[in-house]
């Protein structure tokens, strides 16, 4: 009975994580072991990196109780601008990246102004932005692709971290030793963090998980990290884009959980009137949330362009829907004020795993869309059910 109570209390936090693990194991069984092959898991990250990046920024918008429909168009627009800078103007790639990030943030600030200070609903402003910046993309590229990019720019999305240890021979394969070192380091950090967190909870007389359940949870996380580290180490090591994504996750996880500004976003989404009465400058918070979304969209746009090695007018189509779905599947509330960065990433991976697994199995595109629609509906229904039963 005690175990059932613990599972019920933690279902919202860990339910989707275990669902992700279960789906991955199922697809590996159904594909005869193809799913867990190193090359496939590497491709899984490369193919979904830009959606996961967008999900990080989209979560902050959803925490305020809104969404951003323009991110796909903004990503395409910034990708097109970066191509003009680098390909047509022969600009230094690093300077072009910096200027493109500024342009993305400026686009987000422009939309944030209308939303925060002019009080136009975010749905309307970002819907207009979706049309405006898709049109700008068409104008800049004149309906054609523009490329290729230099190698330095492509490495953002297609490169892998070097191995200073030179690799280790293992059963006919060359194991990327630095990737394994990173996996061990992350595992030790997680164990240390969980131990400190448990001690702190006990010192404040908070309710903690039983020792064996806590130990099993930590062991599960360590096992998953080491498994994926080994898989990546068997295929060129960690992709550069995964390092970029991991950096964004760490920064925004810390921002939302350990800073005053991060808590203000949750307060705004939970009850905007109460937040304003408590002294929070809600307009400023909303403005910076959408400015940040423009910056994140710019990063995703350049990552996508680097992966294709060209800027294309059709880039970013549907990205906004995948990013929104990732956040909701990962446990974000449709009303705002509830959600985590880690949850959004888990939700994005869940969508990516579905796409990848169904593609390997030969499921048609139309049926894939149908299945993803049911998954999104089920995730939101589970969110409402869990809130009702834990209230």
pLDDT tens column, 87-136? 999 999 999 999 999 999 999 999 999 999 999 999 999 999 999 999 99
pLDDT band at 1 (very low <50, low <70, confident <90, very high): very low
Distance separating alpha carbons of residues 240 and 251, to the nearest angstrom: 17
User: Is the bond preceding residue 148 a cis peptide, omega within 30 degrees?
Assistant: yes
Q: The tokens 């989707």 sit on which residue?
A: 16
Query: pLDDT of 289-338, one tens digit each?
Result: 999 999 999 999 999 999 999 999 999 998 999 999 999 988 888 888 98
Q: Evaluate if residue 11 carries a pLDDT over 60.
A: no
Query: pLDDT of 16-46, one tens digit each?
Result: 787 888 889 999 999 998 998 888 988 999 8
pLDDT for residue 175: 84
- Element at 169 (helix H, strand E): strand 168-170
Bridge partners of 239, per DSSP, are 160
What is the mean predicted confidence (pLDDT) over 67-88? 96
pLDDT for residue 376: 78
* Residue in 248, 229, 271 with CA at minimum distance from that of residue 65: 271
Contact 242, 307 (CB under 8 A): no
pLDDT for residue 164: 85
pLDDT for residue 372: 82
Distance separating alpha carbons of residues 30 and 274, to the nearest angstrom: 51
Contact 129, 138 (CB under 8 A): no
pLDDT for residue 386: 65
Q: How far is CA 364 from the centre of its chain?
A: 26
pLDDT for residue 349: 92
Query: pLDDT of 154-177, one tens digit each?
Result: 988 888 998 888 766 666 667 888
Q: Evaluate if residue 72 carries a pLDDT over 70.
A: yes
Q: Evaluate if residue 281 carries a pLDDT over 90.
A: yes
What is the mean predicted confidence (pLDDT) over 333-358? 90
Contact 36, 367 (CB under 8 A): no
What is the mean predicted confidence (pLDDT) over 203-224? 85
Mean pLDDT of the chain: 89
Buried residues in 359-385 as b, exposed as e (16+ CB within 10 A): ebeeeeeeebeeebeebbeebbebbee
pLDDT for residue 201: 86
Q: How far is CA 361 from the centre of its chain?
A: 25
pLDDT for residue 276: 93
Report the range out of 198-202, 250-254, 328-332 with the highest average pLDDT. 250-254
């Amino acid at each position: 009975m005690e175990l059932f109570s613990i599972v019920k209390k933690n279902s919202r936090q860990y339910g989707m994580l275990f669902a992700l693990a279960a789906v991955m194991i199922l697809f590996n069984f159904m594909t005869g072991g193809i799913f867990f092959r190193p090359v496939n898991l590497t491709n899984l990250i490369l193919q979904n990196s830009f959606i996961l990046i967008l999900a990080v920024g989209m979560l902050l918008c959803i925490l305020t109780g809104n969404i951003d429909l323009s991110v796909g168009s903004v990503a395409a627009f910034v990708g097109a601008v970066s191509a003009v800078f680098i390909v047509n103007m022969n600009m230094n790639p690093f300077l072009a990246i910096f200027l493109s990030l500024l342009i993305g943030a400026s686009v987000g600030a422009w939309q944030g102004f209308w939303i925060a200070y002019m009080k136009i609903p975010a749905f309307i402003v970002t819907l207009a932005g979706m049309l405006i910046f898709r049109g700008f993309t068409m104008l800049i590229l004149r309906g054609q692709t523009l490329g290729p990019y230099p190698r330095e720019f492509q490495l953002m999305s297609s490169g892998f971290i070097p191995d200073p240890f030179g690799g280790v021979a293992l059963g006919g394969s060359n194991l990327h030793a630095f990737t394994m070192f990173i996996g061990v380091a992350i595992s030790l950090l997680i164990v240390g963090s969980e131990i400190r967190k448990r001690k702190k909870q006990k010192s404040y007389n908070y309710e903690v998980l039983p020792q064996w359940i806590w130990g099993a949870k930590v062991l599960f996380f360590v096992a998953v990290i080491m498994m994926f580290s080994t898989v990546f180490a068997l295929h060129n090591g960690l992709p550069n884009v995964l390092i970029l994504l991991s950096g964004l996750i760490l920064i925004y996880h810390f921002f939302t959980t350990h800073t005053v500004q991060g808590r203000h976003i949750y307060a705004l989404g939970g009850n905007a009137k109460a937040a304003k009465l408590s002294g929070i400058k809600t307009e400023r918070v909303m403005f910076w949330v959408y400015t940040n979304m423009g910056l994140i969209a710019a990063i995703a746009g350049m990552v996508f362009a680097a992966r294709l090695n060209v800027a294309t007018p059709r880039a970013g189509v549907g990205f906004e829907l995948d990013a929104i779905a990732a956040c909701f599947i990962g446990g974000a509330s449709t009303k705002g004020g509830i959600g985590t960065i880690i949850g959004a990433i888990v939700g994005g991976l869940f969508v990516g795993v579905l796409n990848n697994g169904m593609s390997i199995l030969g499921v048609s595109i139309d049926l894939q869309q149908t299945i993803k629609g049911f998954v999104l509906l089920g995730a939101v229904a589970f969110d409402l059910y869990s809130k009702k039963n834990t209230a």
